[in-house]
């Protein structure tokens, strides 16, 4: 699968994948979402069905997210992980 610069791509990690060549890309964000978190969002049922059945979803337009939004998402995901992780003693 090729991911074009500036686009957002969504796929289920059960699809074999590996980052092999970043080309000339200077900046990218990769989010690994726990399945329970993805399924808890109020998303379109067809989108969920497509993703969980192996379809790769790609944005039509580029530059959908600013670097600020990417950092905010990273922080929100970290907070969610901490809130959902079992207490450690």
Measured CA to CA in angstroms, residue 68 lies from 15, 18, 55, 85 at distances of 29, 26, 28, 26
CA quadruple 28, 25, 63, 57: dihedral sign: negative
What integer best gives the mean pLDDT of the chain? 82
**Do 15 and 56 form a contact (C-beta atoms < 8 A)?**
yes
In the predicted model, what is the mean pLDDT of residues 14-42? 80
pTM of the predicted model, to two decimals?
Answer: 0.62
Of 67, 75, 84, the closest CA to residue 29 belongs to 67
- Tokens standing for residue 64: 């959908």
Check pLDDT > 90 for residue 45. yes
């Amino acid at each position: 699968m090729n991911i074009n610069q500036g686009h957002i791509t969504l796929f289920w990690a059960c699809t074999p994948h590996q980052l092999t060549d970043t080309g000339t890309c200077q900046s990218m964000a990769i989010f690994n979402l726990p399945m329970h978190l993805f399924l808890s969002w109020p998303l379109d049922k067809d989108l969920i069905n497509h993703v969980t059945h192996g379809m790769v979803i790609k944005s039509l337009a580029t530059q959908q997210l600013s670097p600020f939004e990417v950092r905010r998402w990273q922080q929100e995901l970290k907070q969610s992980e901490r809130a959902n992780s079992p207490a450690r003693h």
